[in-house]
Amino acid sequence: MATLAPILDRFTTADRTQPVPAPARALEMEDQFAVPQFPNEDVYFRVKHIDNSRVVRTADPAARKACWRMIGYSFVFATLVITLLLPTLYDLMAGYRMEALRQERSRLQLDRAALELEEAKLISPARLAELAKMQQFVDPAPENVVYLDTKSDAILAKSDADPAKSSAALAAK
């Protein structure tokens, strides 16, 4: 496997005819810091111990300042971009929501229309007449029709089961 470096070197090295030194397998074995090479590759790694315990970092306030400034600018820029993109994002989310609601509305309208149709079928005069026949309801006899005042006396119709209550309601009036 060839790495990028030899490929680049072909373009950068002036003397391309100069032969590449052959790997010295003997040297490799002698060097105690050498690590095993990649198979079939002319790449060698060596371990070099560096002691930088005595290195002291030089104070560089300007670099620190520049660094923080960069962080600040980046943050402001990111915030600005996000702020600018936020409405678009919100629009997108709202669009999804609106379309979902639109579909929901269509579905509910359809359900409502179906229920209205069902209701219309259930209260059709033919069905009511059939139910009345099943319940053996008949038209009242002559002079036996009682007209209820829908505003005030409707309660009488409801409390018909208990005549005492009806009488009491009448008496109260």
Partner 1 sequence: MDTLATKRVHLLARVAFVWALLIVARLVQLQVVQHGKYKTLAQQQQQRRVEVRAPRGMILDRHGERLAMSLPVESVCVNPLRVPDIAVASDILSKILNLDHGDLLYRMKTALEDRRGFLWIKRRVAPQEAARLRGLKLEWIEYRTENQRFYPNRTLAAHLLGGVDFEENGNAGVEQALNDRLQGHDGEMLLTEDVQRRGFQSTTQSEAQPGEDIHLTIDSSIQFVAEKELAKMVDQHHAHSGSVVAMDARSGDILAYANYPTYDPNESLKDKEAAAREDLAVAAPFEPGSVFKVITLSAALECTRLRPDSIINCGGGKIVLPGRTVHDHNRYWELSMEDVLARSSNIGAINIGLTVGPRLLEYVRRFGFGKKTGLPLPGESSGMVRRLPSGKGAIGSLASVSMGHEVGVTAVQLAQACSVIASGGNLIRPRLTLDTPVAKPIRVLKPETAITMRRMMEGVVIKPYGTAHRYARILGYTSAGKTGTAQIYDNHLHQYTHLYNASFMGFAPVTNPAVVVVVTINGTAGLSGYGGPVSAPVFREVAAAALRIQDVPKDLPEMLPATEDDQADVSDVAIVDVGSSIPPPLVQPGDAVTAGDEPAAAAKVALDQRIFSAGPAIPVHVSYATPVSDAPRVPNFQGKTVRDVIQESAALGIPVEFIGSGIARAQIPEPGEVLPVGRSVRIQFGR
Distance CA 12, CA 18 (A): 13
- Comparing CB distances to partner 1, the nearer of 92 and 155 is 92
Those residues whose C-beta lies under 8 Å from the C-beta of residue 45, and which sit 6 or more positions away, are 34, 35, 37
Does residue 137 belong to the site contacting partner 1 (CB under 8 A)? yes
Does residue 145 belong to the site contacting partner 1 (CB under 8 A)? yes
Q: Are 34 and 28 in contact (CB under 8 A)?
A: yes
Distance CA 58, CA 85 (A): 42
Does residue 42 belong to the site contacting partner 1 (CB under 8 A)? no
Per-residue mark of binding to partner 1, 85-104 (x: CB under 8 A): -------x--xx-xx--xx-
Does residue 125 belong to the site contacting partner 1 (CB under 8 A)? yes
Distance CA 167, CA 146 (A): 16
- Contact footprint for partner 1 (CB under 8 A): 4-5, 8-9, 11-13, 92, 95-96, 98-99, 102-103, 110, 113-114, 116-117, 120-121, 123-126, 129, 135-145
